Amino acid sequence: MNLLDCITSSFSSLIQHKLRSCLTMLGMIIGVFAITTVLAISKGGKELILSEFLTAGTNIVMAFNAQMETRMDKLACLTEDQVMAMKEVIPQIADLSPMHFLQIPLKVKGRMKQITVLGVPENFFRVRGIKASSGRMFTGEEVNRYEKVCVVGKELFYDLFGKTKRLGQEIRVEGTTFRVIGVMGHKLEFGPININTAIGVPSSCAMRLLGTRDIYAVQFLAKEGVSMPLLKKRIKNHLRQIFGGRDSFDVHSVDELLSMLNKVMGVISIVLGSIAGISILVGGIGIMNIMLVSVSERTREIGIRKACGATKGNILLQFLIESLALCSIGGGMGILASVGLVLIISTVMKVAFFISGMAIILGFGFSFIVGIFFGVYPAYIAAKINPVEAMRYE
Amino acid sequence: MNPNFIKLSEIKKIYTMGETVFSALNGISLSIARGEFVAIMGASGSGKSTLMNIIGCLDNPTAGTYLLDGEDVAKNNDKELAQIRNKRIGFVFQSFNLLGKQSALDNVMLPLLYSGLLRKNRGKIASEALEMVGLSTKLRNKPSEMSGGERQRVAIARALVNNPEIICADEPTGNLDSQTSHEIMEILLGLNKKGRTIILVTHEADIAGYAQRIIRMRDGGIV
């Protein structure tokens, strides 16, 4: 009996018990569906977040006063000269942008809220990869000319003006009116400010409003190929020198957030994957259970086959193929269902979730292994049945 | 004609169930010639089916020697025994032992499946075997759609499809009416006339009457 005959024989037996085969496969379908969907969503989600970071650039270091939000008046700060000198002292720095902060009360959706106003030079946005989702960002000339223009975070813009996207509205900051010229596109944030709910004004105007040129936060762009931990260390040491050995500024980089994100996503994937794996295991046990029932039900058939010349190997292979077929078809259907769901989620949420080849291989491979693992024992039981006793079996 | 085509010497079969030991065969010695038609008769529990199962290589003796065409059967492994059952021996049982969900043709093709015959030839050979037993119009019928006599004919077609030298028939007429029984026996007689060795197990004297020789058994021995 060749392999093709074994496969045909196994499939014909599965077809003869359609309902039982379908119900047995259900466990495997759900298990593989769960594992592939979980992998697709966690991988897609991770890549979505990563892509946001990558657009912003992973070679950015932020240094800001750790107590900035609570005790602004008595804080250690940097002068413009000190900041500009850092570019000379630390050769790994490609560019830097000093940042100024103001907190202003604004009526948002009928309630007064404290809003952060960010005074920055024009290069700040370019370095961070922040683009205008509508309108434009301010230019270096506008910074130099003290132009009263501003860009508003997407979330805040919608809260203030609704989804009209009409630019040219006015916002009053400390008695000065700023004209909205652009909306800052949505970006994931790190550091002290959430860009989505902030207002960006030219650094020159911010300094005038604050009445000081003190700098509480600086954004650094690393040169290509520079080790981020090294740059961070150099910036930290330099700042410590300035502040007489104290760590008055916190120094953070995007890459450390990335590694943290990777760890968190990894843990989430493992937890969800384990749950999905358990469902595959349960499906496998279900298959073994049904295969054992099938062996017992078909004892007489096994006896007849042996009387007609089937070897132990033939019987073993037939039952093993049946189990493998149940698992593989179930696995395949689970993958198809998963692809369907992921497509629907991607379309509805307008997010590019996708099932990777690895997820498909993993889902299918798992079902195949489960098929062999849980199919071997029933097949072995079937193979060693004595033909005489089998044919007497009622 | 080889008079010792089937040669059994001091064959014993002992079943142990817990503390109970039951001896089904008590040292049977027997020779059957090639092409002979032998009937094994005896009451229920006399050991006739056990003897037939050993001759048919479906079961192993506890002790003794079984030479089939001069070869010691005990020296064969599982694969070789399966090959003997497939190529050299055909079985016909009282309860037909057909696969209920498969057609007559599929049932007859079963031994061909294990014989390594090419797929395309199996249908033709099985159809011819069914034609030989007068069932050429019922190839696609399932056992449940057939009478007892027809089912036994399918079983005979399956037994002879691989052209075996021996046909072991264990009470082949046990579930059939008298007329059908004689029709089935005529088929077996015809096969014997074509040179096949027939070993028939029965407790009916008129059925045993078709055989050239009757071996009577009682309490696991030949009388």
Q: Return the structure tokens found at B182.
A: 């004689």
Distance from CA of A43 to the nearest CA of B (A): 47
**CB of A304 within 8 Å of any CB in chain B?**
yes
Residue A121 touches chain B, beta carbons under 8 Å: no
> End-to-end alpha-carbon separation of chain A, Å?
27
Q: Please indicate whether, in this complex, the C-beta atoms of B93 and A391 are within 8 angstroms of each other.
A: yes
Tell me the per-residue pLDDT of A303-360, one tens digit each, with 9 for 90 and over: 999 999 999 999 999 999 999 999 999 999 999 999 999 889 888 877 777 788 888 8
The predicted pLDDT at position B186 comes to: 93
Indicate whether A160 pLDDT > 90. Answer: no
Contacts of B79 in chain A (CB under 8 A): 311, 313
Q: Report the chain B residue with the minimal C-alpha distance to residue A9.
A: B113
pLDDT at A270 over 90: no
Taking 90 as the threshold, does the pLDDT of residue A242 lie above it?
Answer: no
Of A301, A303, A309, the CB nearest to B82: A309
Task: Over range A199-225, report the average pLDDT.
Answer: 87
Lowest mean pLDDT across A64-68, A367-371, B148-152: A64-68
The whole-number pLDDT of residue A357 equals 84
Note whether A386 contacts B: Cβ–Cβ < 8 A: yes
Q: What is the dihedral of CA A276, A277, A282, A284, to 10 degrees?
A: 130
- Which residues touch B109 (CB under 8 Å, ≥6 apart)? B122, B123, B126, B161
Closest chain A CA to residue B90: A308
Q: Please enumerate in sequence order all residues whose Cβ is within 8 A of that of A344, keeping only pairs 6 or more positions apart, or say none.
A: none
- Residues of B contacting chain A (CB within 8 angstroms): 53, 56, 58-59, 78-79, 82-83, 85-87, 91, 93, 97-99, 101-102, 110-111, 113-116, 119, 158, 162
Chain A residue numbers touching B58 (CB-CB < 8 A): 306-307, 387-388
User: Hey, is the C-beta of A389 within 8 angstroms of any chain B C-beta?
Assistant: no
The answer, yes or no, to whether residue B67 has pLDDT greater than 60, is yes
Please report the pLDDT score of residue A57 as a whole number.
65
Asked if A300 lies within 8 A of B97 by C-beta distance, the reply is: yes
- Strand, coil or helix: what is A154? helix
Decide if pLDDT at A72 tops 60. no
Residue A56's pLDDT is 60
Range in A207-211, A234-238, B106-110, B177-181 with the lowest mean pLDDT = A207-211
Percent of chain A at pLDDT exceeding 90: 20
Out of A303, A305, A391, closest to residue B110 by CB: A305
> Which SS3 state, helix, strand or coil, does residue A112 take?
strand
- The mean predicted confidence, pLDDT, of chain A is 85
CB contact under 8 A, A5 and B113: yes
| Predicted ipTM beyond 0.90 | yes
Residue A53: predicted pLDDT:
65
| A224-229 own/partner pairs: CB under 8 Å, 24+ apart | A224/A59, A224/A94, A226/A59, A226/A92, A228/A58, A228/A59, A228/A61, A228/A253, A228/A255, A228/A256, A229/A253
Q: What is the CATH number of domain B35-58+76-222?
A: 3.40.50.300
Question: What residues does each domain of chain B span?
Answer: 35-58+76-222
CA dist A20 and A1 (Å) reads 26
pLDDT at A260: 80
Nearest CA in chain A to B85: A309
Whether the pLDDT of residue A71 is over 60: the answer is no
Secondary structure (H, E, C), chain B: CCCCCEEEEEEEEEEEECCEEEEEEEEEEEEECCCCEEEEEECCCCCHHHHHHHHCCCCCCCEEEEEECCEEHHHCCHHHHHHHHHHCEEEEECCCCCCCCCCHHHHHHHHHHCCCCCHHHHHHHHHHHHHHCCCCCCCCCCHHHCCHHHHHHHHHHHHHCCCCCEEEEECCCCCCCHHHHHHHHHHHHHHHHCCCEEEEEECCHHHHCCCCEEEEEECCEEC
Mark A110-145 as b/e (b = at least 16 C-beta within 10 Å). Answer: eeeeebbbbbbbbebbebbebebeebebbeeebbee
Mutate to test the interface with A, among B17, B97, B120, B144 (most CBs of A within 10 A): B97
Strand locations in chain A, DSSP E? 60-65, 93-108, 111-120, 132-135, 149-153, 170-173, 176-184, 198-202, 217-222, 249-253
- Judge whether B62 and B16 are in contact, CB under 8 Å: no
Residues in B touching A306 (Cβ below 8 Å): 58, 82, 85
pLDDT of residue A55: 61
**Span B7-28, mean pLDDT?**
92
Interface touch A310/B116, C-beta < 8 Å: no
Cα angle value B40/B42/B47 (rounded, 5°):
80
Residue A68 has what pLDDT? 54
Contact call for residues B54 and B74 (beta carbons, < 8 A): no
Q: Does any CB of chain B come closer than 8 Å to the CB of residue A309?
A: yes
Contact list, B97 vs chain A (CB under 8 Å): 300, 303-304, 307, 391
pLDDT value at residue B42: 92
Tokens of A231: 């740059």
Q: What is the pLDDT of residue B4?
A: 85
Given an 8 Å threshold on Cβ–Cβ distance, is A308 in contact with B87? no
A158 versus B25: the higher-pLDDT residue is B25
Question: Cβ B82–A391 below 8 Å, yes or no?
Answer: no
List the single best residue of B51, B94, B114 to mutate versus A (max A Cβ within 10 A). Answer: B114
pLDDT band at A35 (very low <50, low <70, confident <90, very high): confident
Residues from chain A contacting residue B162 (CB–CB below 8 Å): 309
Q: How many CB atoms lie within 10 A of CB B115?
A: 17
pLDDT at residue A52, as a whole number:
66
Query: What whole-number distance in Å separates Cα of residue A146 and Cα of residue A143?
Result: 5
Asked if residue B101 has pLDDT above 90, the reply is: no
